[in-house]
Structure 1
C-alpha cells in the first residue's frame, strides 16, 4: 500500500482550515500549524458571508452548523445618515437559489465550527508553532519548526494571512498596501426589527453599517479615512467609535449606547494585495490573504479565500502530477475572479475617497456579483 502524500498547511484561518478538511477527505496526510495558541477562536466581532462563501462551507460539510449559528437575509438597505430608508435591493444569490444570498454570523463562532471540522477530519494540528526554515528540492520541502522539530512534505500550503512570512520566505516580494480607509468594528445586541444589513453613506464617516449575526447579536462598523494608528490610544477606541456612530439615526440610536468597552472595538486599515504571475514557488503554494486581499466593500474577502481552498484541493486530489503546471493551473483559474473582486472592492472605496458623486456603484456591484454566481 502506497504512503499518502503529505501536506503542511501553515495557518489556521478560514482558507487553511478549509483546505485541510478537503485534502484529508481526499485521503492525504495533512499537518496544520497555527501560530496562535488559541487558534483565533475568540478574535473578531462579526463576518458577512455571501452565497458563494456559503457554497464552499456546504462543501466542507458545515453548512447546517453555520445556518443554525448565523442570521440569513436576502436584501440590502441604503439609508440616509438619519436612518431614513432610501432604497432596498434584493441581494444576488451568488451561491445558487438553494442558499441564502447573505448570512451574518459572529466571527469566533465560524472559526469554532471550522476548528471542529479540522479536528474531526483527522489532521495533525499543532498550535503555537511557526516555520523557521523551508528548504526545497525537486521532490518536496524540508521544514524546521520553531520548537526545533522538523518535517518532510510533498507540498506546503501558505495560509498565513496578509502579512505572510511564508510569502516572503519563498521570494514573493508583493506587500499589502493601505487604500486610505479604515474601519471601526464592534459587536452589540440585535435591536428588535433589524433583519438585514443597512448602509448609510455620508454623515460623520464614509459608511456606517451593521449586520445581524444571530437572533440576538449584530456587528456594527463605521468606515472613515485612515489615521495614524499610533495617534489613537487603544483605551479610547470605544470613545472614538461612539463619537462617529452618534452621528447616525435609526437603529444606531440603540447600537451606540453599547459601544463602551474599548477591548471589544477593533480598528483596522483597509489593505489591498494581489500577487500576480503565480501563487507558488516550487512546492510552496499561497492561498487566501497570503495571495490577495481587498477592502470589505463587497464583503468578499472570506469568500475568495474559501474558494481558493476549494479549487486548490480539487486540483491536488486529481490525477495530474504535482508541479509547476498544476500550480499554474490553480493560479490561472483563480486570478480573473480574484482580480475582479479586488479591483471592484478598491474602486468602491476610491470613489468615496475622491468624492465622486455620479459613480456607477450599482453597475459595478451588479457586474461583479453576476460574475460570482458562476462556479469558481
Structure 2
C-alpha cells in the first residue's frame, strides 16, 4: 500500500484477534482494544472447530499450536438417550483434505493462542478499555477511549461481539433475538472411549452431547428450552446440569459425576442475529458476532467469525482505496455464505422445538457443508 494506514479493532475475540494478526502482517498499524482486563483468556469451556475454521487458523500461522492443543476427529455419532450408538457419520473436511474435519479444544487455550499471535504481530493492545465513536468523515474516524485518550483512524473494525455497542452507536438497529433454546456447558475429564462428538436426541433435553478437547478433557453440553435466567441462580448450575444429564447413558454417567462445581458450568441462551443491507456505516465496519450469530447447532460460529477476518483483511490489503464500495463488497461476499448458515442453524433448533420427526437433516446439511468447503 502506498500510504500508511491505521486501524482500530474493537474487541479481542476470534474475529478481532484474527483481523489484527492479518493486518499487522501486511504492515498496517493496528490498535486493539478489549473491554475485559483478562482478554477473555479464562472464559468458556470448549469449542468445536470445523475444517473451514482450521483453514483460517492455518493462515494465521497458529495451526500447529491448535493441532497440539486440541483433539482432532472425523466423525459424529448419533446415540439413543441410553447411549446406544444408532449411526456414525463421517464429517466432510471443509478445510480441505490436508486438515482434520474437526478439532475440539478448550476455548481458553484457543484464546491464549490468538492472544500470543496478536502480541507477536506487534499491535498495540489496550485491555480493560472501551472505545466510543466521536464522529467520522470521508478520511477517517475519531474515537475516545474509556481512559480519556482520543485517537483518529482510517478504519474502525467493530468486533465487539453479539451485544456490540459500536453496532448501535453507528445506527445499525439490528439486535440479537432468542431462538427459544438454551445450553448448559461444562469442561470435564474425558473418558478413554470418547474419541469423537456424540449427540443424543430426546430424553429430558433436546440434545445431550460432548466433544473431546484434548488427551484428558472434553466439554459436555445439554440443550433445553430457554428459561427465565432469574429462575436459574448460578449457584445451582452444577445441580441443574447434573439433573438433566443424569437421564443419559453410555459415557454420560462418568461425565455427569464430575459436574460438581457450579462456577465451571455455563448457561447461555441461543440467539440469532443477521445484519442485513450492509455491515458498515462510513469507515466503521462490523465483523464476527457483531454482524451475525447463530445457535451452535452447526458449530460454525467461530468459523464464520474467522472467515470474516480473513476476507476483510484480504480486501483491505489488496487496495489503497478504502471506501464505501469496498466495504459493501465485503458485506456482499460474506452475506451469501453467512445467511444460509444462520438460517440452517436456527431451522435445526426450530425443528426440535416443534417436535418435527421427519426433518430432512442430511438434505439440509449436505449442500451447506459442500459450500463451506469452498474458499470464502
Using the size of structure 1 for normalisation, the TM-score is 0.99
**Residue of structure 1 equivalent to 2:195:** 195
1:134 CA displacement: 2.8
The Cα offsets for residues 306-362 of structure 1, whole Å up to 9 and x where unpaired, read as 000000000000125101000011001000110010000000000000000000011
SS, match of residue 298 in structure 2: coil
Residues 164-179 of structure 1: pairs in structure 2 closer than 5 A: 164-179=164-179
Contact (CA 8 Å) 1:70, 1:213: kept in 2 or not? yes
**Residue of structure 2 equivalent to 1:286:** 286
Could you list the runs of 4 or more consecutive aligned residues of structure 1 that deviate by over 4 angstroms after TM superposition?
Answer: none
Work out the CA distance in 1 between the residues paired with 2:366 and 2:164.
32
Work out the CA distance in 1 between the residues paired with 2:133 and 2:282.
15
SS, match of residue 276 in structure 1: coil
Using the size of structure 2 for normalisation, the TM-score is 0.99
The root-mean-square deviation of aligned C-alpha atoms, in Å, is: 0.9
Contact (CA 8 Å) 1:320, 1:326: kept in 2 or not? no
Work out the CA distance in 2 between the residues paired with 1:166 and 1:232.
30
Contact (CA 8 Å) 1:54, 1:99: kept in 2 or not? yes
Work out the CA distance in 2 between the residues paired with 1:271 and 1:178.
4
Work out the CA distance in 1 between the residues paired with 2:281 and 2:45.
35
**Residue of structure 1 equivalent to 2:64:** 64
Contact (CA 8 Å) 2:66, 2:110: kept in 1 or not? yes
SS, match of residue 297 in structure 1: helix
**Residue of structure 1 equivalent to 2:255:** 255
Contact (CA 8 Å) 2:185, 2:265: kept in 1 or not? yes
Work out the CA distance in 2 between the residues paired with 1:133 and 1:76.
45
**Residue of structure 2 equivalent to 1:52:** 52
Work out the CA distance in 2 between the residues paired with 1:143 and 1:256.
48
1:3 CA displacement: 5.5
1:192 CA displacement: 0.8
Q: How many residues align?
A: 376
Contact (CA 8 Å) 2:69, 2:105: kept in 1 or not? yes
**Residue of structure 2 equivalent to 1:153:** 153
Work out the CA distance in 2 between the residues paired with 1:133 and 1:147.
14
Which range moved further: 311-320 or 159-168?
311-320
SS, match of residue 171 in structure 1: coil
Pairing 1:10–2:10 present:
yes
The Cα offsets for residues 206-244 of structure 1, whole Å up to 9 and x where unpaired, read as 000000000010000000000000111110000000000
**Residue of structure 1 equivalent to 2:39:** 39
1:166 CA displacement: 0.2
Which range moved further: 360-369 or 343-352?
360-369
**Residue of structure 2 equivalent to 1:94:** 94
**Residue of structure 1 equivalent to 2:135:** 135
Work out the CA distance in 2 between the residues paired with 1:232 and 1:372.
37
SS, match of residue 325 in structure 1: helix
The gaps in structure 2 that reach 5 residues or longer are: none
The gaps in structure 1 that reach 5 residues or longer are: none
